[in-house]
Structures are given as structure tokens and as C-alpha cells.
Copies of this chain bind each other. A is one copy, B any other.
Amino acid sequence: MVEQDDRLSRIFGALADPLRRDMVARLAAGDATVGELAAPYDVSLQAVSKHLKVLEEAGLVRRSRDAQRRPVHLEAEVFDLMTKWIQRYQQQAEERYQRLDALLDRMQGRDDTHGTTDDTTGQTADRQRGAAG
């Protein structure tokens, strides 16, 4: 679990950089060499190589060997890991809204104690600490 936690951190961290995100976008269209990836940008080849290392350590990319070239390949499966994480909490939040709406409806229909809308979730407490991912 902690292992995947670290993996997610690497993945999100890797995609936090616009240049790296750009590279991922480019690689989605097809494999490319380091030089080709570096070409559109105003940075050194070494910098691009570093970025690729970050992407590789995050498991987003794989580097192979072809003579003196280093073709880079996008590892698309990693996206699933992110999507799963996101959807989990997105769904949880949505369900909470639905419960909140239902509660508000019921209160309006029956009683009208007072208008403080917050605190309706059983107050801010940690009734449900299902954290960790």
C-alpha cells in the first residue's frame, strides 16, 4: 500500500511539470528519441534526459536501446492507476453531496429548525476515516 503511495507520488510529481506533461502528450502519438523530444524546446539535451529519467522512475515511460539511439515509449497503463485514485474520491464526494441534498430536502419538507446549512454531515467530525489510498 505504501509502495503504491510512493508510486502515485512519483506519477503526480512527474506530471506536475508542464514540459514533462508535454512530452507525455507527444509520446501518446508515437515513440520518439531523446533528441526528437528535445527539439521543440529551448533546453539542453541533458535537461530533457533528466526529465525522461523522472518519467521513467514514475513508470510513465520506458527507454530501450537501438544503436546509439534511446527510443522512448509511453507506458499507458499507468493512467489507470491515476484514474482509479481520482474516481474513488470523486465518487465519494458526489455521494456525499447526494446525501446532503436528500437531507436538506427532508428538512425543508418537515421541520425548519434553523438555516445553518453546514454541519449537516454529522458535523465536521471524523466519523469515517477511510483515508489512505
Contacts and interface: CB of A to CB of B under 8 A. Distances in A.
Interface of A: 5-6, 8-10, 12-13, 15-18, 21-22, 24-33, 36, 39-40, 62, 64, 66, 69, 71, 73-77, 79, 82-83, 85-90, 92-94, 96-97, 118, 120-133
Nearest to A90: B79
Contacts of A122: 30
A3 to B, nearest CB: 12
Copies of this chain, tallied across the complex: 2
Contacts of A16: 9-10, 12-13, 16
A61 to B, nearest CB: 11
Given A5-B18, A9-B16, A9-B17, A126 B36 contact: yes
